[in-house]
Each structure stands twice: as structure tokens, then as C-alpha cells.
A and B are shown apart, each in its own frame.
Chain A
């Protein structure tokens, strides 16, 4: 009943963004404002662990 694959697309920070033409200041501001993408990685990993356990109780 539950979807097995990871649902939805993911914003992964600068990944997938066209950063050409951006100066270093803009990139620094970006990182200061939105991080490098791993700030809440621990929570995502915990969530996936729970989801995996529910999808496959064995």
C-alpha cells in the first residue's frame, strides 16, 4: 500500500542549480542563508530508517 520508492523530488540546495555566472559573494550568501545541504541530514536519515522499517518489518 505504501509507496516503496522515495516519493517526490528533492531540493538539494545548489545541486541542479545553474551556478555559472554567479560571483563568489552570491555563493557565499547562498551558503550562509541556506547551508551546504547537510544541516538536517541526521533527521532525514532517521526518517528513512523509520520508513524502511515500516515498509519491511522483517
Chain B
């Protein structure tokens, strides 16, 4: 079949030129749609600031970054302490309310016991060569993870944006987090 002989019976059909233009248009749209969202995305909301609960969001964030994901971690309430340069180095662990810990609640509630359980955990972390919270934050930042500190809770806790690690985004709220979650392939609340 010759390419330059249009079918005479199809007068109302679109011309070759029209079809070619339409194909170009669709190819452009496809290229745009696939290139724009090439990288997968993960959005984590970090709400807890105890030593044990600081780990999961940071481990998942750095690992996802290693997979090539665009990662955003939105920190709110006690989760802000993970990003707080001073407080992140002194996150505490309590046995109160955790029946898996070797200390009975009645004992765990005594003054000074949180320091004891925290010391125990810190020793285990050091003995096992587990990364520290600070290391995980620095590593994640190096890998391009975006850490966001919720503005409303910064104000509520009387923190200052200078308290956070360099590279932490401040001045963001729930709408920013929601937009990230809507765009993400994986969304987690920790």
C-alpha cells in the first residue's frame, strides 16, 4: 500500500497530517507524564520522639533514598525532637507502659528509671554498632532526604528553627504533608 495515496472512500476521516499531529501530541504528553514522575516517592509522618521510635522513620528514609526514592519525612509533635540538634542526642526510652521491657511498671515509674533504661539501650546500640540517630540524620540528609519540621508544633513546643539540623525545612504544615502523601507511592505514619 502506497503511503501517499489516501483512501478516497474515507472523505470524513482525519487526514494523514492530522493523524500525525495527533500522534506527536500524544507522544509528547506520554513523555512528559513518564519523565516528570520518574522517581518513586515515599512520605513518612514522624510523630514520636522516644529513642526506640526515632529509628524506624530514619532507617526507612535512608533505605528508600538508597533505592532512589524521593523521600520526605514530616516531623510533628515529639517527632520534632529527632530533628532537634541537641535533643536528638538525648532521646529517652521509658519502660513505663512497655511490658516487653525487663523492668516492672511500678519500678519503671520511679524517678531516674528512664535514664537507666535509656543507658541500657544506648549501650546495646553501641555494642551492636547500630547507627546513632545523629548518624542516620546526617546520612539521610547527604542522600537527599527532605526532613520537614511542622511549623505549628515548632511554635507549640517553643522551639526555634535554628534548633534543627542544617538542611531541615521549616515553615510547613499539614497541607504540605498531605500533598506529599497524595503524590507518594508509600505513605507511613510512625
Q: Do A and B come from one complex?
A: no
